[in-house]
Amino acid sequence: MKNVRVCHPECHAVRGVYRRMCAGFDTIFPSSRSLSLTSAYLPFLIFLFPVFSFSQQLETTVVDTSIIEPLDIPTVEAELAYLKAKYRKDYQPLIAMDNHYTAFFGQSANFWGLKLGLELMQSYRMGFGGYYMPKKVAMRPILEENATDSTYRKFRMHYYTTFFEWVFIKNFRWELSLPVSAGYGRAEVEQWIPGRDETFLGRWEKGKDIEEFVASVSVNAHYKIFSWVGVGLGLGWRQIVSPDQQIQQDFSGVILSYKVKLFPGHLYKSLFKKEKILEEKGDYRWRKFMNKNLKRLKREEARRLREMK
């Protein structure tokens, strides 16, 4: 069956408002009247226009419901298929910042991250990522054999990963996704060497870098405040496998990510093509309306089949 387009009820409402406003202007301001009369009524019309538009939109929406009725399952499915294909791209490049935060024993540690890859059909993302921890954090003291004092160490790491992300909910405002990553990195460790006498307290001495395997899984969400900017939040778990058991135990833990996301495509549209933003918002509302009606029609069809048996 060919795709069947069913116009938005909002479109009929806007057209009705436009026609009625034009008729009202012609009635109040015929061409023979002077400009002074127009300027006198203009503040009143500016005040009245929002109320007039809202009431007319409600009225025309109710009147125009016959245009979208009756709906049947093939028509609704065709419309949903059209809307899905309209915004789906087979693939597009992906460049994203992925900064996140982790807490170790009351210390905060920020990771700077960058992702490069591809987004497939707006539902799957895959590629490579790199992460760096700019601030060293202290590890728990370790009491070594035959030592009178505890040995203190500081830790910083960087690692590279391959990732796969499944976007399971996406609309104009919200997105929920499940990213999984695995990769390889190194840990830079510094150890505190106590002084030999009272005049020299001690020094930090850099040790050999420790190799590590890093894997993580999390659930991420973002919300668009405006069409071109949003805020994101994620919660997950990072697991480190390392020859150093202390590093593996101390730094495998919960990941809390927070970010501000910028959408350059929507920023361009909001500046130069605002009608595209309005069209996209309307399509998402229309898709929600059609999905709701599809569920209703399927329930009614199932009930009819049960009654026929």
pLDDT at 100: 80
Runs of H (alpha helix) within the chain: 9-28, 35-63, 73-87, 245-250, 264-272, 274-308
Full DSSP string of 27-62:
HHS-TTS-HHHHHHHHHHHHHHHHHHHHHHHHHHHH
- Give percent above pLDDT 90 in the chain: 22
**pLDDT at residue number 183:** 95
- Is a pLDDT exceeding 60 seen at residue 230? yes
Q: Where in the chain is the domain with CATH 2.40.160?
A: 89-266
For the cut 90, the answer to whether the pLDDT of residue 58 exceeds it is no
3 pLDDT band, cuts 50/70/90, is very low
Please give the residue that has the higher pLDDT: either 109 or 17: 109
Residue 194 confidence (pLDDT) above 80 = no
89-266: in CATH 2.40.160: yes
Assign 28 a pLDDT band (cuts: 50, 70, 90): very low
pLDDT band for position 153 (cuts 50, 70, 90): confident
Dihedral sign (CA 228, 131, 124, 103): negative
- How far is residue 122's CA from residue 86's CA, in Å, rounded to a whole number? 12
Q: How far is CA 288 from CA 99, 170, 282, 294, in A?
A: 33, 12, 10, 10
pLDDT at 300 over 60: yes
d(CA 119, CA 95): 10
pLDDT of residue 14: 41
Mean pLDDT of 282-303: 90
| Amino acid occupying residue 63 | V
Of the pLDDT bands very low, low, confident and very high (cuts 50, 70, 90), residue 223 is very high
- Work out the average pLDDT over 240-267: 83
For 138, the token pair is 């202290």
Q: Which helix (H) or strand (E) holds 66?
A: none
Q: d(Cα 15, Cα 9) in Å, to the nearest integer?
A: 10
